[in-house]
Structure 1
Amino acid sequence: MAVSFEDISDELDVFGLGDDVDDNQLQKLQEICQSYNINANALVNQWMAFSASRKVDLDTDNIEIFDREWLPKKLSVSQQTPKAKGKSFLNKNTINSALEDQLEIIGSYATPEEKSQIAQAAKRQLTPENNNNKNKRFIGFNGSPAVKTFSPTSLSPASATPSAKFSSRSNSGETVFKFGNLSGHSWQGEGQGCKVSYYDESSCLTPQMKYMFQKMMDKAGALNEMIEDMSQSLQNAHGIEDFGHLALPSQELVTVSGRICCDSIGRLNNQSVLLEGSRDSSAGKSISLDLSELKQYSLFPGQIIACEGVNNTGKKFVVKKIFESQTLPHPESPGEQENAKLLRMMVAVGPYAPSDGIDYSPLSDLIKVINRDKPDCCVLVGPFVDTKNSTINSGELQETYEEIFNKQMEEISHATHGLGCKIVIVSSSRDAHSCYSVYPQPPYSLSTHFSDGSKKSSAQVGITKDLIFVSDPATLVINGVVIGLTSTDILMHLTKSEISIGQQGAGLDRMGRLAQHILHQHSYYPLYPAPDDVNIDYDLWETSARLPVTPHILLLPSDLKAFAKDIDGCCCINPGRLTTGLVGGTFAQVVVDTLALRSSSSPAAACAVKIVKI
């Protein structure tokens, strides 16, 4: 039964979930339809029953549980695939004769009983007498070499196995999204090079920094200062005379400001919204908000707002109006003397290998594109040694994480040397080789110890000056164009935390609204409290994770659907990930007309973007 992405998306739209699903999740749902021979309507009905009974959101992990635990029990025999009706396609002879790779493929279509047989067969395949067969499986990928001396074999460790799904893709090079005026612009450059620097050198992090030494009073002070700074910005923008005490009873309209909080553990909802005031205006008190009189709002924990309403009892603030927050001013456009030409960029986000192995063919294909198009700058965002990769998690690698990372950097440096292209490497908390589990995260350092006991510097491992390591987040200036970026998936974290009623903003969809939150809150990571896997040092956050200006371009890598949008004059881009699971993903190509940037009031109007399949 042929079920398209559009069929599934349309059925999800009926329940208001159409915007919550990305291409990777749609592909998994499509595979489920094919496996069980059901249509999109039956699939979505089963999902709604599953999600309601278990109270879970629509994400990749829950879809796998839905497929593994729910559907085999709930679907009748007539709804399942024809092969499930007849005799089992697995028996002792077929299992014993199957190779390990085949067992993995067959297992994805097996019933729970058959999977237990497969597990036993897999153990037999890996007994000592079959060690030679096991080693045959780990063969490097000998693809055609790229420009210079670069090849996938040199990039991937000896234990890398090529991903069949990635190598068999048929849509390589396909443009899946366009933004801006693409006519008259050539995506291929001439390797003219560029100058890369931090917007504010005082906010730079170093690999030697100390982190997570913050005291509770210092953290509280930083959080309080966030409220006061944003309140001052809102006061100036809307001409508010003064903010009142949010916990004092009042029969008249009063304007208050503070941080949105949740009154319980769990996701924010319209009955659990609290507003926490600053020390100066409200002595740090908090009060429950009644939002019933508002026709539209969009709130998330950590958001700082100003609102008008009444507080009859001193226990609940009835909100009549929420004042719209404002963006910071744009930076000055490039001057007349500063590279009055096009700036061509490429942006790619890890992981750079499929999730079932450490074959870096996707990265090698990307570098071939860099060699072909010769951009002025290429931004490569981690992870490079992904902690979510099953092979890396297995602990069976022959090399250390640092050696794998250093090998990638060395090959990238060699393959792009002489192109006139600067390579910006952005840190990621998902990188296994990095010891910094903190946000903001300092740039990577290549002065590392190797498994043989030696220690080598960047120059010794062959890294050229064309590779530039920057922190997460960072505000950079590239040929006069200000670019803000963060590798942490703040868009995904916001969409899991936000409540939104009514249409927010002129022509903004969910992705645009999430990106607008970041610009309006003047922070690369405005969510508070953060998820458990994001460890924020608020001393460092205060100096290195706040937006100094509204950048010309804002890079927001995410697992959500790739996009490029004009948000309040800023060109916001999610390039997608270079690989999504076992299949190839996307990267972004950007052209900025610096001449138009000087003359236009909207920097986004000077940008052209296309999202391309790797």
Structure 2
Amino acid sequence: MKEKLDSDELQDSFEIYGINISEEGIELCECYSLSGEQFAILWISYAASKTFEEINLERLESFEKEVLSKKVKFSKELSPLEEDPLSTSKVTLSTADDDDDLLAAYGASPAVLSTKKNDKPLESPGGTGVTRSYAQSVSLPDELDPNTSLAPSLTQSPSTQDAFSQRTNSEAVVSSFGPSLSEADWKADFSHIPEVKILPCGGDKSLSGAYNFMFEKLGDCSDILDDAIYYIGNQIKETLDVDELSHVHSAGNIVGIKGINPSGNCLIAEEVNIGKVLPLPNTTFKLGSDSLQIRVSCGPFTTVENLHFKPLKEYLKDVISNPPHVLFLMGPIVDSSHPLLEGLHDSYDSILERCLNIIEAAIKNTQIKVYIQISQKDVCAIPIYPTPPVFLSNPSLTSNVCLLPDPCLLDVDGITFGLTTFDLPMQISREEINFGYGSDRLGRFSKHLLLQQSFYPIYPPPENVFINLEQSDLYTRLPFTPHVIITPSDLKGFVKDVEGCLFINPERLAKGKIGGSHCRIKAKLSFGNLQLNVSINKI
């Protein structure tokens, strides 16, 4: 007899992904033996392809028919109660769909699922792509357009009204932190110009240029990992008995173990030392009586339907109407998995230059400082982590536009920001094994990052993530706990205060065919203490 799933536990799992599940959805979870997380990941992919924002009975029926009945089959050998309790799933997914399921977890639409990043050349394709015919040429009347010449293969269909234009939830609040503010409170006073400095992440300087990779020796990698263990001051043991302890493990988690070894081959852990969180930096805030306004947006910046960058243009119009002191644009600028890149007549460089021209045209008469962070998922970026700020051969940028590596530490008037484009909340939640540590998954992820003192604390990384350990030791470590860490994710946007550090997930500006979210941050001093207000809003 199949054990009935706990509806409250399923509801909590769905809320992490921003989904309000109905009783019918819970019945589907029970019918197909899916956890809330598994169901939510499949639904996110399906909803993105159909531009659904809410769940109803009719959509659930279509979802069951088109997705669940085709992708999921019951295991015939073991019942759910007989399976290994550490098994990652109670269902068997067809082997041919494994890569598609991984992409689906990141919100990719079905049109994208058959296209893999590693199957594409990193070089610009020039005019060697597959010829496609379209019913009309691209029309770009918007005042933010840089008047660049691009082939008409930038749109998938000639429809004049795309899903992004038909959105109805613009500027809806996804998450917030601190007292609510009026629109006038989000406008910067440029009588004060903030000072911005790029800080090193573990080494003597920040990552500023390309480096050689794929030349690492196994012995050197081993030494780097040993040094990381010694640096944190803990020790890992391979065989543990932790049945009676409440804690969380994930791949690469460095901990200290205290216990006994009565048999000589198994350490029975009595105490787990998970390390310590580094203190906040001893900096002097330079705000005075002024406030600091920061806007954050994370790519992709165009929908999967075209390469017009309509979400970016809409966002920049709002930025100009309520200008901040600093604007963070975090990659990918153009996701390498975008379906229209295959067979594109224009070079990848031309698409990225077009995007940069749109940004520069929008801010050319303003005092906004723009910082663009490169992602290894960018179509012209070097696909390695840490990712150097190099993705165009000869980028021509104005003085108030700066390229950042991934990850990066910034000091803005004494307030420190940690930025990385990796979807760490999703990756760590996939890797962790929770032993009765509670249901606060976002808090666990955030504290795990601080305890491991690294922008990427997972080892070994997933197969689709390429880490250079030698450079990682120099450019991904946390020398202190920043005041703010921004890590975009496909999970629902959140703001979380952990150990004095504010973790922010602004989501993506474009999600499949529809618009996503962006973030506003206001910082000021109150009796000498830093006070932060954060609002995550729909585009």
Give the TM-score of the pair, scaled to structure 1: 0.68
Query: In the alignment, which of 430, 436, 440 is matched to residue 496 of structure 1?
Result: 430
Task: Tell me, yes or no, if the aligned pair for 1:193 and 1:422 is still in contact at 8 Å.
Answer: no
Query: In the alignment, which of 310, 317, 339 is matched to residue 267 of structure 2?
Result: 317
User: Are residues 405 and 19 of structure 1, via their aligned partners in 2, closer, same or farther at CA, if it must alter by over 3 Å?
Assistant: farther
Q: Does 1:16 align with 2:14?
A: no
Residue 458 of structure 1 and its aligned partner are, at CA, apart by 3.0
Unaligned runs of 5+ in 2: 47-62, 73-109, 111-130
Larger helix proportion of the pair: 1
**Distance in 2 of aligned mates of 1:66 and 1:316:** 46
Task: Provide the residue aligned with 1:195 in structure 2.
Answer: 195
Report the AA paired with residue 611 of structure 1.
I
**Distance in 2 of aligned mates of 1:516 and 1:23:** 17
Task: Provide the residue aligned with 1:186 in structure 2.
Answer: 185
Unaligned runs of 5+ in 1: 1-10, 31-39, 75-107, 109-130, 232-256, 260-274, 276-286, 449-456
Task: Tell me, yes or no, if the aligned pair for 1:189 and 1:344 is still in contact at 8 Å.
Answer: yes
Report the AA paired with residue 199 of structure 1.
L
Task: Provide the residue aligned with 2:500 in structure 1.
Answer: 569
Query: In the alignment, which of 206, 215, 218 is matched to residue 216 of structure 1?
Result: 218
Give the TM-score of the pair, scaled to structure 2: 0.77
Residue 51 of structure 1 and its aligned partner are, at CA, apart by 4.9
**Number of residues of Structure 1 aligned to a counterpart in Structure 2:** 455
1:249-305 CA distances to partner (integer Å, 9 max, x unpaired)? xxxxxxxx424xxxxxxxxxxxxxxx3xxxxxxxxxxx31111111x2111111111
User: Are residues 176 and 203 of structure 1, via their aligned partners in 2, closer, same or farther at CA, if it must alter by over 3 Å?
Assistant: same
**Distance in 2 of aligned mates of 1:19 and 1:547:** 31
**Distance in 1 of aligned mates of 2:5 and 2:376:** 32
> Structure 2 matches for 1:66-465, cutoff 5 A?
67-71=65-69, 134-143=133-142, 145=143, 150-151=144-145, 158-161=152-155, 164-183=162-181, 186-191=185-190, 192-200=192-200, 202-231=204-233, 257-259=234-236, 275=237, 287-294=238-245, 296-335=246-285, 341-392=290-341, 395-434=342-381, 436-446=382-392, 448=393, 457-459=394-396, 463-465=397-399
> Structure 2 matches for 1:466-481, cutoff 5 A?
466-481=400-415
**Distance in 2 of aligned mates of 1:326 and 1:389:** 41
1:566-613 CA distances to partner (integer Å, 9 max, x unpaired)? 1100111111111111111101000111x33x833xx5xx11100011
**Distance in 2 of aligned mates of 1:334 and 1:158:** 52
**Distance in 2 of aligned mates of 1:154 and 1:41:** 51
Report the AA paired with residue 552 of structure 1.
H
Task: Tell me, yes or no, if the aligned pair for 1:381 and 1:426 is still in contact at 8 Å.
Answer: yes
Highest relative contact order (Cα 8 Å, sep 6+), 1 or 2? 2
Query: In the alignment, which of 493, 514, 528 is matched to residue 599 of structure 1?
Result: 528
Task: Tell me, yes or no, if the aligned pair for 1:152 and 1:360 is still in contact at 8 Å.
Answer: no
Residue 43 of structure 1 and its aligned partner are, at CA, apart by 3.3
- Could you tell me the percent identity over the aligned residues? 27
Task: Tell me, yes or no, if the aligned pair for 2:285 and 2:413 is still in contact at 8 Å.
Answer: no
Task: Tell me, yes or no, if the aligned pair for 2:17 and 2:40 is still in contact at 8 Å.
Answer: no
User: Are residues 70 and 181 of structure 1, via their aligned partners in 2, closer, same or farther at CA, if it must alter by over 3 Å?
Assistant: closer
User: Are residues 408 and 422 of structure 1, via their aligned partners in 2, closer, same or farther at CA, if it must alter by over 3 Å?
Assistant: same
1:519-566 CA distances to partner (integer Å, 9 max, x unpaired)? 111000001110011111110011100001100111111111111111
Residue 141 of structure 1 and its aligned partner are, at CA, apart by 4.8
Report the AA paired with residue 50 of structure 1.
Y
**Distance in 2 of aligned mates of 1:180 and 1:571:** 11
**Distance in 1 of aligned mates of 2:8 and 2:380:** 42
Rg larger in structure: 1
Residue 346 of structure 1 and its aligned partner are, at CA, apart by 0.5
1:303-355 CA distances to partner (integer Å, 9 max, x unpaired)? 1111222111122111222224221111123246x665211100110011112
